[in-house]
Amino acid sequence: MHPRRSKKIPTIPVGSVGGFMIKRHSFNKYAPKPEAEPYAEGTLKDLRLKLGMTQKELSAIIGYSVTSISIWENSNSAPTEVMHKLQKLYEDTKDCIVDDGIDIIEKVSYVRHRLGLSYDRLAQLIGVGCGKTVRAWMDGVEPKMKYLAEINRMYYELKSQYKPKSQKRRPTFCQLDPLNKTSWKAEIENPVIVWK
């Protein structure tokens, strides 16, 4: 037998401080991630997330740095003028979203086919990163509010431009007896001939 294997090696407690043993904790990597901290209704973060914007996108719209926005969100202390701007933007965007009973899938499909666009090109027009996102909407994923507003705008703009061709009816001909003058008195009312 090997001399080293027969000897018992003393173990030193890992994480012992001042004679106290600190227990090592193991984490389950498959455990669900903790939920994000809740944020108050009507706050800067709440409105930004409802609009589906990143801090960078919001910063470009309201004219403040991303750092300022982050600080305001963490401390719930956004300036009143910024909150008014954001609330107005939220209300305007909400007004663009019409709950008309028409499914978003139908609207996206209509816009895409009417303009003859690929998913990627439609994504560019709407302002989305790529066509995969638009395809996901077609599979039932709900778009962010700002994209819903843009889809609605495009849909109703195209619908208002499209005027269906009026259905022209073929004229109705009838045999008139040239000798019988009473048969000559005919009046056309709503493509129906009424004999007098």
pLDDT digit string, tens, across residues 17-51:
455 555 554 555 565 554 455 555 678 888 888 88
CB 158 within 8 A of CB 111: yes
Mapped onto helix, strand or coil, the DSSP state of residue 161 is helix
Percent of the chain with pLDDT over 70: 61
Mapped onto helix, strand or coil, the DSSP state of residue 135 is helix
Using CA atoms, how far residue 173 sits from 14, 180, 186, 191, in Å, is 104, 17, 11, 11
Confidence band of 87 (pLDDT split at 50, 70, 90): confident
Beta-strand pair 186-189/192-195: antiparallel
Please give the model's pTM, rounded to 2 decimal places.
0.51
What is the H or E stretch that residue 47 is in?
Answer: helix 44-51
- Report whether pLDDT(12) > 70: no
Confidence band of 67 (pLDDT split at 50, 70, 90): very high
How does the average pLDDT of the chain come out, rounded? 74
Ranking 61-65, 95-99, 112-116 by mean pLDDT, the lowest is 95-99
CB 151 within 8 A of CB 111: yes
Which pLDDT tens digit goes with each residue over 106-158? 888 899 998 898 989 999 988 888 889 889 888 888 888 888 888 888 888 88
- Report whether pLDDT(76) > 60: yes
Taking the C-alpha atoms of residue 68 and residue 29, their distance in angstroms, rounded to an integer, is 34
